[in-house]
Amino acid sequence: MTRLVVTLVIGIGIGAVAAALWLRPVSEGAEPTGPWVAKVGDRVIRPAEFIEEMARRGGRRPGTYQSFDQKRLLLNEMIVRAALVDAAKRESFDMQPEVLRAMESVLINRYRQDRLQPLRDSVGIDDADVEDFYNRNAGDYVVPARKRIAIIHFAVPERANDERWDQATADAEEVLAMVSDQDQGVPHFGDLARQHSDHRGSRYRGGVIGWISEGGERPRFNPTVAAAAESLRSPGAIVGPVRGDDGVYLVRLVEYEPQRERSLEELSAGIRQRLLAERLKQVENEFLDARLAEVETEINEDALAEIEPLSGPGPERRGPPTGPTTSAEDES
């Protein structure tokens, strides 16, 4: 079945749901009771249902559906729609899996909108909830002290001899002596990094390589640099020359931020959003559990186990299996 045909089928199926709202069956050969404006096969269009469709089409706007011809044109559209629904049902289009799924999605979305959404709209988070959550989790909001570090790297090739290492150390000591001649307003290595450092990523930024948090993991920093930085306490302080696996370093503390606690005011918006999301999820789970409790459910696990997968095994995954989620189609 082509995509166009599937689209038409689904459209007709959804039309069947809509048509059921304003079409009522009439026994074959029997006249409909009460007022009516059209009969289509064994179905009848009532005035109230025509008015509802007229309102849906913008009938409350001034100047719309004032003439008989306008109303007749709308009725003709309703008749054509009913005829197409009748034809599709005669050929069992309404029993095709993709049509049934589309019709179920319409029902589910409407039911969720009318029954679940008011429950969600009633959920609120007050200031006391936010403050209580903050107080119970205050330890999670401590920002560790951190240091902004600058380096000058004197690279030494792999398998270099002692003479080469000695030369790198001597070069580092010579540059270190030049630091005192720098402008006192320069917090990093300034032009000395550009002139002498072999670290391409930082040499044009005064040797600045970024922040190191105290007590945290530092996988992106050279271990030699990280270890040397631990001894630095005052901005401007320098340690070195220190020898690493790939050369000799001068390490300077550019800026220091002490440990601090993030305030309630700083975090309240994020906490409120988190609590709201948790409450909304709880409300939805309770709603779904209640609907499941209303129907008797039985699972044939033997039959389920006998169903073969549609594809071969994928890569091995760790942790519990994830279940199916509600499709976007049912959430629109």
- Residue 133 CA, chain-centre distance (Å), reads 23
pLDDT at 109 over 50: yes
Q: What is the spatial distance between Cα 179 and Cα 150, in angstroms, rounded to a whole number?
A: 13
Mean local confidence (pLDDT), 49-73: 94
Q: Quote the pLDDT of residue 4.
A: 36
Contacts of 144 (CB under 8 A, 6+ apart): 213, 214, 215, 216, 259
Each residue's pLDDT tens digit, 174-199: 999 998 888 777 889 999 999 999 99
Res 65: pLDDT: 94
231-273 pLDDT, tens digit each:
888 899 999 899 998 999 999 999 998 888 888 988 999 999 9
pLDDT of residue 19: 43
Query: How far apart, in whole angstroms, are the C-alpha atoms of residue 86 and residue 78?
Result: 12
Lowest mean pLDDT across 1-15, 17-31, 98-112, 213-227: 1-15
Encode pLDDT of 129-148 as tens digits: 999 999 999 888 888 888 99
User: Which pLDDT belongs to residue 182?
Assistant: 80
CA angle 207, 213, 217 (to 5 degrees): 105
Q: H-helix or E-strand containing 76?
A: helix 68-90
Residue 21, pLDDT above cutoff 80 = no
| Residue 41 identity (one-letter amino acid) | G
The pLDDT score that the predictor gives to residue 104 is 95
Q: What does the pLDDT read at residue 27?
A: 46
Q: Is the separation of the CB atoms in 136 and 201 below 8 Å? A: no
Q: Would you state the pLDDT for residue 318?
A: 66
CA-based max dimension of the chain: 111
pLDDT given at position 139: 82
pLDDT for 223 equals: 85
Residue 313: the pLDDT is 87
DSSP at 37: S
State the pLDDT at residue 320.
57
Cα 315 to chain centroid distance, Å, stands at 25
- pLDDT, mean of residues 317-332: 53
Residue in this structure with the two tokens 């550019």, named with its chain if needed: 254
Segment 146-169 shows an average pLDDT of 93
pLDDT tier, 3 (very low <50, low <70, confident <90, very high otherwise): very low
Q: What is the pLDDT of residue 31?
A: 66
Q: What percent of the chain has pLDDT over 90?
A: 63
